[in-house]
Structure 1
Amino acid sequence: MVLLEQLLNTDYITDMVLLTQPDTLQNQMVSNIEITETPDVEFYISAETFILTTGMVFKDNQLKLIDFIDSLIRAKGSGLAIKSGRFLGGKIDPLVIEHANKQHFPIINIPDKYPLGRLLHQMSNYIWDQQKEEIEFALEIQKQFSDLLLNNTSVGKVINEFSKIIKCPIILLSPLKKVIAYSQFFVRQKDWLESIESQFQQKFYQSEVPDDYVKMYDQKHQTFMLSVSNVFVFKYFPHYLLILNPENMTYPISTFTIDQAKLVLSYILYKSEMVYNTYLHASSSFMLESMTSDSHDRSVLYNAIEDIHLIDSNYYLAIEVNVPSALDPMRKTVELYEKYALIVDWLKNYGEKYFEDMFLFQKDAQSDIYIVLQNHNINVEKCLLKCRHDLAELVDIDLIYSVGEAVISLDQLPKSLDQAQLAFKSRFSDYNREPITYYNNSGVQHLFHNINAKEIEYFCESVLKELAFPETNSQKELRTTLKVYLDNQCETTITANQLFVHRNTVKYRIEKCQEILGTDIHDPKASLNIRVALSLSV
């Protein structure tokens, strides 16, 4: 890939004439050259293709070139070169040139002495030679980056080295659109760094960030260009590599070179993510074991896990942090687990902005994220909502909190953790998506909390059969109807109104439920078992 302006300055075609304004050549990249005499070429060319033509099909009406130019723009073509002396009388209609200028699309005149076939061959060879040189350069860069990887280099070091190579300032943003690394240029330009971060957040507020050039403003409110590249550590929530004034990059820097840097950054970021997740899970497991065992001295526990900032207090409160989509058992998707990772990142880096002396706790390696507060805060609800709001401003994640009860000693923290977990599970029964819910110790789940989970599962399956843990939409529909019907004391009309279905539909579904369960759900003993099983199998 080369700049069109650079291609037109090669020694053997210097007499090709640009018919449009000079600025139409700006940032026009060429990856491919094609000869065509057909007007529907937009469906058959790749992006950044430069078209060579005699314009034969337009000899009777040059104004049709306007539609042809628009089609090339839709196909993301690089420009149009016309051998006008062959069929167009050596002159392009001024209206066509005017339209091309408005669209910032370059039109070049090819002198009669150039056969199109030879011109295609010469231009293509030039592009291939440039690409070969770019690849060789990129491979050399890859070697440098590989050495950095082998030396366990940090993200900041990679960013700084890459900045030296391309001679442009660089910023790396997290999926939360927060600065996590930057090149040496910004060491004394912190205000500008913060300004770029803020502008980026505002420009792409709750919207997808494309791989593209973006216009920004410096401290003097003058515009400058920013190249944005997505760096995929996560599938749905990429990091962002920002290159300032990319037009200043010197040859032979290419997209391939940038891709090498992105690949290395992806690896280092992924490694860092996995290391922290492993640490969080391991330290949480160690804490849980220590809190439920007499074999560990508390002072050892306080000093053993430095990053958790555990303090000796008479107040501990566990809050499970989750997202509404986790309430659907069928939506345990990659996107959901990526959201968990970003929630951990958010709370790890910014949690203490909202909650003093908090630490993170994680029962499971992929979910069950808890905030543990170690000081009483009368404004805790306000802080939770502020934390939720600020995260939603940066990325499409909507937090929901499930709050346990405060305990007075670290020994009792597992109790608060269990209560927060029960508070979250209670959301399933009525699909409670409220931002904050609290533990209620009067529920059925509380009574059965200490019973073996396998025994509870067996009880639910023996009572509800295939409706205990439904897998199909039909089974879920029947289970929901059964629960609403029982909650409304078996009133068909009320159930139908609540579900927005006909009374006969409710009757049919209840009959189907009774058929599956093999019992009369109106029988008091059967009804009690069904209600308990429905509550326990959420």
Structure 2
Amino acid sequence: MTTLEDLLKIPRFSDLKLLTHPTKANTVVESIEISETPDVADFIPKKIFLLTTAMVYKENQKELITLIDSLKEQEAAGIGIKVGRFIEAIDPEVVAYANKIDFPVIQVPSTQPLGALLHQLLNYLWDTKTEQLSYALDIQKRFSDLLIHDVSIARFTADFGKMINTPVILVSPYRKVIAHSKHFTQTSKPAEYYVEQLVSKYKTWTEDSHASFVIKDLNQTPLQIAGFSVTVNSYFPHYLLVLNPEQVPYPMSEFAVEQACLVLSFMLYKNQKVQESLDFLKSDFLAQLVEYQQTPHQTKRDWLDLGANYGLKKSTQYQVVYAVCSQTTTTATKIKYQQEESDVAFQWLHETLPLRIKDISIFKVKNTDHLAILIQSRVNDLDKILTELSLELSKKLPITLTFALGNLYETTEQIANSFIEAKTAYEEMLTMTDSPLIHRYHPKGMKSLFEKMSLEDIHYFCETTLKELAYPVEDSFIELRKTLQCYLSFQCEISKTAKAMYLHRNTIKYRIDHCAKLLGKNIQDPTNSLNFRLALELSERSNQHQ
């Protein structure tokens, strides 16, 4: 890739004079053309450097502005105008306008024949492209050899850094260093130091395939870093960072870097697919465990032996945490995004969670984008650890992990119970207006069966069961309701009820007999007793929601 600035630095072209500001000469030149026609912009490709004598503009140079506009629109690299033949000097207004729209204008002296200049410039460009192509093909051959020998990503990254003679770092989507060249073993700071500097300065990285960053090096002087995306997934790419790209020896071309990114994409994709096959077996094991343990009258299985390859360990503490990536209105309909988001979160938990909690195993939940974390040890500050992990990930990527917790159990045969509780707790989170980051499972009684019933249906059940005692207003009925409630809570024992209410047992007996007449049923009957207890609870709750 040759710029106009590069051409002007070559000694044989030293008589070409840049009239516009030096910063305007960083345009890429791919070819050279000579033309004297005003509509030349309609017939040339992009990135052309145009040479002209401006013959048609000798009487009115200001019309050159129209030509410059058309060339700018066509993304030409610049214009070289020969002076001394048809025009003696280039009008300052033309130069000022070119400066204004960031378009390079070069003055070609009268001693320089345009035809000879054209051939010299093209020869230089052709030689450069030939050299770049030869170098790129050589790089490609070396990459192919590395692929054939199935080298590791770490070895490939190290060799690539050696090829281009500058430090390189490969980082994951969440900015963790995966591999780096050997340059960092000779410095006082590891590769992570530069990535941390980059992350702290650039909170969100660009999604472009090629980005440029500037940070401070060890001496606090500006350090340039070029970032190239290594696409394994559509939404969360890896990045190849090249430090001091301006020092890469010629003829290092962008094509060589693109080849390196392509090879790394293939290697990462291959590793990902191998890992996915292992994760599938692990996911299938969890599904079978949960299904089997919920089957009545099942024979006993040695789950520790069956799950040894999937991280199951002998313990007296088993707890399942259900982990899910929260969705926004934008991502809720993007199936591919949700899959990749879950994969990134899965890898993140795999790398960070074992450092804080021992004896864990992480599963992908079959046929979903959800994750299940099996904890096989007691953790006193579990909520704090999970909150910290979620916040750390959300600072690196637009991913928010939420967690639903099942209860703690003592045997492997009860893992399914904890899993179902954790999943139930997650489903409860979906119904909450402000979904919390962490939600624990709470056991439900029989009244939970009525949660989806309307208030009208609940009122009907309560009133037909308790009659005047369902929603009492009169003091006498209120006292009767309290007595009935206490009597039922003490398993219909008069003495305990009287003691709890500080009343004589005959008073309690009289009130219970009165309740039986009012309700028209035997209160001591087990079926009636269950209905009365449930109606008392539901009427109290429904009354609070009115």
In the alignment, residue 174 of structure 1 is paired with which amino acid? Answer: S
TM-score of the pair, normalised by structure 1: 0.70
Alpha-carbon spacing, 1:446–1:324, altered in 2? closer, same or farther (3 Å)? farther
Per-residue CA shift, 1:33-92, capped at 9, x if unaligned? 455779999999776543434456876776887898799778765444232445542345
Shift of 1:287: 5.9
Tell me which moved more, 112-121 or 59-68. 59-68
Partners of 2:38 and 2:203 lie apart in 1 by 40
In structure 2, which of residues 189, 192, 199 is the aligned counterpart of residue 191 of structure 1?
Answer: 189
In the alignment, residue 421 of structure 1 is paired with which amino acid? Answer: K
Q: Secondary structure, in 3 states, of the residue corresponding to 2:151?
A: coil
Alpha-carbon spacing, 1:370–1:9, altered in 2? closer, same or farther (3 Å)? same
Alpha-carbon spacing, 1:99–1:178, altered in 2? closer, same or farther (3 Å)? farther
Question: Partner residue of 1:414?
Answer: 416
Q: Residues 327 and 427 of structure 1 are in contact (CA less than 8 Å); yes or no, is this contact kept in structure 2?
A: no
Question: Partner residue of 2:469?
Answer: none
Question: Partner residue of 2:212?
Answer: 213
Aligned length: 450
- Taking only aligned residues, the RMSD between alpha carbons, in angstroms, comes to 4.2
Q: Residues 82 and 107 of structure 2 are in contact (CA less than 8 Å); yes or no, is this contact kept in structure 1?
A: yes
Question: Partner residue of 1:277?
Answer: 276
Q: Residues 304 and 412 of structure 2 are in contact (CA less than 8 Å); yes or no, is this contact kept in structure 1?
A: no
Which structure has the bigger radius of gyration? Answer: 2
Q: Secondary structure, in 3 states, of the residue corresponding to 2:327?
A: helix
Partners of 1:47 and 1:446 lie apart in 2 by 70
Question: Partner residue of 2:175?
Answer: 177
Question: Partner residue of 2:2?
Answer: 2
Shift of 1:342: 0.7
Q: Residues 170 and 244 of structure 1 are in contact (CA less than 8 Å); yes or no, is this contact kept in structure 2?
A: yes
Q: Residues 403 and 438 of structure 1 are in contact (CA less than 8 Å); yes or no, is this contact kept in structure 2?
A: yes
In the alignment, residue 7 of structure 2 is paired with which amino acid? Answer: L
In structure 2, which of residues 314, 333, 350 is the aligned counterpart of residue 331 of structure 1?
Answer: 333
Per-residue CA shift, 1:96-123, capped at 9, x if unaligned? 37984x9987542223355656644553
Q: Residues 285 and 307 of structure 2 are in contact (CA less than 8 Å); yes or no, is this contact kept in structure 1?
A: no
Question: Quick check: 1:312 aligned with 2:314?
Answer: yes
Q: Secondary structure, in 3 states, of the residue corresponding to 2:281?
A: helix
Shift of 1:414: 2.1
Per-residue CA shift, 1:406-442, capped at 9, x if unaligned? 2222221122222222333344445764322333443
Q: Secondary structure, in 3 states, of the residue corresponding to 1:81?
A: strand
Alpha-carbon spacing, 1:99–1:6, altered in 2? closer, same or farther (3 Å)? closer
Which segments of 5 or more consecutive residues in structure 1 lack a partner in the other structure?
Answer: 448-482, 491-538
Question: Quick check: 1:253 aligned with 2:252?
Answer: yes
In the alignment, residue 17 of structure 1 is paired with which amino acid? Answer: K
Partners of 1:200 and 1:91 lie apart in 2 by 46
**Percentage of matched positions with identical amino acids:** 32
Shift of 1:389: 0.9
Alpha-carbon spacing, 1:442–1:2, altered in 2? closer, same or farther (3 Å)? same
Q: Secondary structure, in 3 states, of the residue corresponding to 1:250?
A: coil
Partners of 1:216 and 1:339 lie apart in 2 by 29
Q: Secondary structure, in 3 states, of the residue corresponding to 2:146?
A: helix
Question: Partner residue of 1:475?
Answer: none
Aligned pairs (5 A) from 1:423-442: 423-429=425-431, 433-442=435-444
Which segments of 5 or more consecutive residues in structure 2 lack a partner in the other structure?
Answer: 294-298, 458-546
Alpha-carbon spacing, 1:440–1:230, altered in 2? closer, same or farther (3 Å)? same
Aligned pairs (5 A) from 1:15-34: 15-19=15-19, 28-34=27-33
Question: Partner residue of 2:510?
Answer: none
Partners of 1:367 and 1:226 lie apart in 2 by 35
Alpha-carbon spacing, 1:60–1:222, altered in 2? closer, same or farther (3 Å)? farther
Question: Partner residue of 2:263?
Answer: 264
Question: Partner residue of 2:382?
Answer: 380
Q: Residues 79 and 105 of structure 2 are in contact (CA less than 8 Å); yes or no, is this contact kept in structure 1?
A: yes
Q: Residues 340 and 366 of structure 1 are in contact (CA less than 8 Å); yes or no, is this contact kept in structure 2?
A: no
Question: Partner residue of 1:136?
Answer: 134
In the alignment, residue 2 of structure 1 is paired with which amino acid? Answer: T
Partners of 2:93 and 2:242 lie apart in 1 by 39
TM-score of the pair, normalised by structure 2: 0.69
Q: Residues 231 and 239 of structure 1 are in contact (CA less than 8 Å); yes or no, is this contact kept in structure 2?
A: yes
Partners of 1:151 and 1:76 lie apart in 2 by 44
Per-residue CA shift, 1:204-257, capped at 9, x if unaligned? 313524313322210111012211111111111111111111112222221111
In the alignment, residue 164 of structure 1 is paired with which amino acid? Answer: K
Aligned pairs (5 A) from 1:33-432: 33-34=32-33, 48-54=47-53, 78-91=77-90, 93=92, 96=95, 100=99, 106-114=104-112, 116=114, 119-120=117-118, 122-189=120-187, 191=189, 193-210=191-208, 211-286=210-285, 289=288, 297=302, 300=305, 303-305=308-310, 308=311, 310-325=312-327, 331-364=333-366, 367-429=369-431
Aligned pairs (5 A) from 1:452-491: none
In the alignment, residue 157 of structure 2 is paired with which amino acid? Answer: I
In the alignment, residue 270 of structure 2 is paired with which amino acid? Answer: K
Q: Residues 19 and 95 of structure 2 are in contact (CA less than 8 Å); yes or no, is this contact kept in structure 1?
A: no
Q: Residues 359 and 375 of structure 2 are in contact (CA less than 8 Å); yes or no, is this contact kept in structure 1?
A: yes
Q: Residues 173 and 180 of structure 1 are in contact (CA less than 8 Å); yes or no, is this contact kept in structure 2?
A: yes
Alpha-carbon spacing, 1:489–1:85, altered in 2? closer, same or farther (3 Å)? farther
Partners of 2:436 and 2:394 lie apart in 1 by 15
Q: Secondary structure, in 3 states, of the residue corresponding to 1:325?
A: coil
Q: Secondary structure, in 3 states, of the residue corresponding to 2:185?
A: helix
